[in-house]
Structure 1
């Protein structure tokens, strides 16, 4: 689909479609001249999930859900808020969970050198495809290990401060994903909970990685 066709299908503006491409909610399929082509499957998935998932969680609630699903303690919500969240988690699917947790961060894709990726890995909390170089983590998602892509979380403003000096070029098909947080408390120790890694994999351009992320979320939801 073109950007205009996707906008018409989703009943949003073309600017909203471009934003969804930037944060990896929609997948770019290619380019025809100056026209960006969008994967039709991702458009229909957004349309379907948007209708059934309800109101998106705030950043704080999304991270609370990710921590709860990972079996980790949540300290930033009240007991009544946690009770409601646990009740909600008992009735969602992996696809709905991914949609509800969209506000966990603002994401942008880039291309850059291997040295830039190495510097990013030291400055950010690595997640998603960026962790698949670790055979142990890759195996836990039933994926083959392999280096190349980078994905990580950083405090809001990180991109503006560092993109130029690292030589990063914004590209919706790039293999560097930077997710900026306003609410940084959950990642103060630099470790990303399992559920967040899984949800981030669900945003991958790779069908296999998306499926692995979805399967892990389903596993964690059923284990509750």
Structure 2
């Protein structure tokens, strides 16, 4: 895996080091390791962010991002007004999968850990599983054209969940860990414990694996074409 420093990343993207750290928090950039006190960032994620940054559009707020993902999944977004939903539908009609993925970057704050299978089992009962973690379901994996059983736990929870359970379960922060927790500031999109299929698609587009990114993009394009 090729890596870049925070300084190199900031220079390439034309942003401050603080902005780079925020992009790591939201998952727009993938942390690949550390060298002393220096954070190392996955080069592929930096180049994706650089390409995406050229596309126009201010990032959606968390509420707008989740409303867009709900609409694309055929679900209701009751937290937006009727006029806001109408405008959002009009916007979605002209966006590509890559643009939706970019605009929805603020949908959650990302935390990554490493833990054993027993820890994953406990956490899986409390998380709304998404992304690579959702591929444990063979039916869902097949819907994305992927093999079942990713071996990774990835899911959504309310803000504060990661810190609390990290202490309880002794989770170790790990930039390439196999437990990825995405925290939301509000829980309406996850009522019922199910993640909208469009959200699973954009989460797969964050993957370090080309096949998963491609599957997420293809599914999201299909959902956009159905609007």
The bucket for the TM-score relative to the shorter chain is over 0.9
Counterpart of 1:107 in 2: which secondary structure?
strand
CA distance in 2, matches of 1:215, 1:194: 12
* Deviations 1:183-207, CA, capped at 9 Å, x for gaps: 1111121011100011111111211
CA distance in 2, matches of 1:81, 1:98: 20
CA RMSD of aligned residues (A): 1.7
Aligned to 1:113: 116
Aligned to 1:73: 76
Is the CA contact (8 Å cut-off) linking 2:10 and 2:17 kept in structure 1? yes
Structure 2: any 5+ residue segments left out of the alignment? none
Aligned to 1:46: 49
Give matches, 1:139-178, under 5 Å. Answer: 139-178=142-181
Q: 1:216 to 1:4 in 2, by over 3 A?
A: same
Is the CA contact (8 Å cut-off) linking 2:31 and 2:176 kept in structure 1? yes
> Do residues 190 (structure 1) and 193 (structure 2) align?
yes
CA distance in 2, matches of 1:202, 1:53: 19
CA distance in 2, matches of 1:16, 1:121: 31
The size of the alignment, in residue pairs, is 224
Aligned to 2:130: 127
Counterpart of 1:8 in 2: which secondary structure?
helix
Aligned to 2:215: 212
TM-score, normalisation: structure 2: 0.92
Which of 65, 72, 76 is the matching residue for 1:62? 65
Counterpart of 2:182 in 1: which secondary structure?
strand
TM-score, normalisation: structure 1: 0.93
